[in-house]
Amino acid sequence: MKIQVDNQEKGFLPDGRHTVEITDIEEGTSEHQNVPFFAARMESEDGFVTQRFYNSAAGKPIILSLYSAVGIKPEGDKDLDTKQLIGKKLSVEVSDHTYPDPATGQERSIRQATGFRAS
């Protein structure tokens, strides 16, 4: 089997604080609880991380902290648009997060971005 590798593809960002740009937003629904989410791809010259943001009561403060870090404030009753995030820069803390897989109960690890701050 031959696997084509694009030399432009970046690897994951290493642990630590990074200044990143949001380059892509994908929307979906969680596999296990059908909660809507958006996934933001955050990149720098050193790599990337993709972080999911769940549109739930527990997820709203995290979403609002992301918007605040990029300088977007909610306005009255207007909905926030995820497309507003594309091209915005911010500072994030990158690390691994381990959790039990809901389907199997086995431990899984994912790369995540937290600690959103203005860049």
Q: How confident is the model at residue 23, as a pLDDT?
A: 98
Q: How confident is the model at residue 117, as a pLDDT?
A: 98
Q: How confident is the model at residue 5, as a pLDDT?
A: 64
For 56-94, give the DSSP string. Answer: STTTHHHHHHHHHHTT----TTPPP-GGGGTT-EEEEEE
Burial of 30 (0-12, 13-18, 19+ CB in 10 A): middle
Q: How confident is the model at residue 37, as a pLDDT?
A: 97
Q: How confident is the model at residue 47, as a pLDDT?
A: 96
Planar angle of CA 108, 10, 36, nearest 5 degrees: 50
Q: How confident is the model at residue 75, as a pLDDT?
A: 85
Low-confidence ranges of the chain (pLDDT < 50): none
The C-alpha atoms of residue 3 and residue 108 are separated, in whole angstroms, by 26
Q: In this structure, are strands 36-44 and 107-118 parallel, antiparallel, or unpaired?
A: unpaired
The C-alpha atoms of residue 100 and residue 95 are separated, in whole angstroms, by 17
User: Looking at the domain that runs over 16-118, which CATH code has it been given?
Assistant: 2.40.50
